[in-house]
Amino acid sequence: MPQARVNGVELSYDVQGQGLPVLFIHGGYGGAATTLVAQEQVVRSILPPERVQTIVYDRRSAGQSAYVLTPYTLADLVDDARALLDQLGVERAVIVGSSAGGPIALLFALTYPEHTLALGLPNTGADLLSEERPVGKERRALITRLEREGAEAVFASRKERLRQAPPAGVVPAGSPDAARLQTRQAAVTEALAEVSDADLLRYSTGEIRNFGAYQGYHLAARLGELTMPVCIIHGTADATVPFAWGEALQRAIPRAEFHAIEGGGHGILQWPEAASALRAWVLGKRGGDRVWIRQ
């Protein structure tokens, strides 16, 4: 993937196809697994390259992009995305934010509505650091410890766990992607066993800085300000971002289109019904990309 220096950070990105620009903001919080073994962006296989210019990139402290070990904010992540579009000469785009990419996409649309043709929100919510879930409390505790104890002390307490591959993603039952996930999981396990402590420390710190970027943003209170077309896609069996959080987005965003994928889990775009819903929405039901451009 090519590299671009935008907003003071080296970002890895890729552009596929031509036509309506769609910027895809990936989920997760970066860290070792995403950098040591490349992750495939499923959106590339969903949107037709003859009609859509799909832009994917690795957020800072993720994948092949630069790791930033000092504090930054959600607004910084939004400005990374905007600066990348500027560099690519894209004035307006459909913004799609999956999972942890969702709050970035939401804030992008709120900050730059004039640059947002439409907003797609697969398996996400407005406050992913919510302490309604134990994982939210754990992440907030890590952010606090990093500031109080320093990166090396926090890393020492996490090192053993960090050398274990995170749980593999979920795919629909019987999906041929199951073998691909198993292969990637084996590669991550091998890479984590061999990576140096110095590199693992950097990945660990970058991941926590990503957690910290989401602090202090109360986007739920601002969802009524969104006026562009919005599409929400959420699986009813999502164990990572609760289905109720997707329903909350629908209630708060005026005229939002909502697709509930029965039995769908996290990584919802791997479910064929979700992929079809996103494709149909992006292409538009009334004449493809001209629908977005007229608005």
Host domain of residue 244: 3-294
Q: Is 287 left (phi over 0), alpha (psi -120 to 50) or beta?
A: left
Instruction: Using alpha carbons, select from 224, 241, 233 the residue that is nearest to residue 271.
Output: 233
CATH number at residue 107: 3.40.50.1820
Report the alpha-carbon distance of residue 123 to residue 213 in Å, rounded.
19
Instruction: Using alpha carbons, select from 164, 220, 173, 230 the residue that is nearest to residue 195.
Output: 164
Per-position DSSP letters for 207-235, written without gaps between them: HHHHHHHTTT--GGGGGGG--S-EEEEEE
- Which sign, positive or negative, has the C-alpha torsion 40, 42, 47, 48? positive
* Domains contained in the chain, number: 1
What residues does 22 pair with on adjacent strands?
Answer: 54, 94
Cβ 278 vs Cβ 230: under 8 Å: no
Give the tens place of pLDDT for each residue, 32-72.
999 999 888 889 999 999 999 999 999 999 999 999 999 99
Report the alpha-carbon distance of residue 102 to residue 99 in Å, rounded.
5
Give the tens place of pLDDT for each residue, 98-113.
999 999 999 999 999 9
Can you give the pLDDT at residue 294? 45
Cβ 106 vs Cβ 98: under 8 Å: no
Low-confidence ranges of the chain (pLDDT < 50): 286-288, 294-295
Strands (E), the chain: 3-6, 9-16, 20-25, 52-57, 93-97, 116-122, 230-235, 257-261
What is the identity of the amino acid at 218?
A: H
* pTM for the predicted model, two decimal places: 0.94
